[in-house]
Amino acid sequence: MMAKLKYRKMLCALLCTLFLVSALHAQQPFLDQNTNWLKGYLSHYYHGIRNTWDIKYQKPILIAGSVLIPISLLLDNQVQSYAQKHGFYSDNISRIGDLYGHRWGYYTTLAVIITTGIITDRSRQRTLSNTGLLVESILTTSTITSIIKTISHRQRPNGKGYRSYPSGHTSSAFALAMVIKYLYGKYPGYVAYGMAAFVASSRINDNKHYLSDVVSGALLGTLIGRAFTRQHSTELQYSIELNSACIQLGLHFPL
pTM of the predicted structure, to 2 decimals: 0.80
| Highest averaged pLDDT of the listed ranges 36-45, 69-78, 123-132 | 69-78
Are 157 and 164 within 8 A, CB to CB? yes
Cα gap 218→209, rounded to integer Å: 13
Cα gap 34→60, rounded to integer Å: 40
Cα gap 250→231, rounded to integer Å: 17
Q: 239 burial class (0-12, 13-18, 19+ CB within 10 angstroms)?
A: buried
Average pLDDT for 232-241: 54
Q: What is the mean pLDDT of the chain?
A: 82
Are 203 and 96 within 8 A, CB to CB? no
Cα gap 90→7, rounded to integer Å: 30
Domain boundaries, the chain: 51-252
Are 142 and 16 within 8 A, CB to CB? no
Cα gap 133→139, rounded to integer Å: 10
* pLDDT bucket at 16, cuts 50 / 70 / 90: low
Q: In DSSP terms, which residues pair with 251 in a beta bridge?
A: 238
* pLDDT bucket at 152, cuts 50 / 70 / 90: very high
Q: Which helix (H) or strand (E) holds 242?
A: strand 237-242
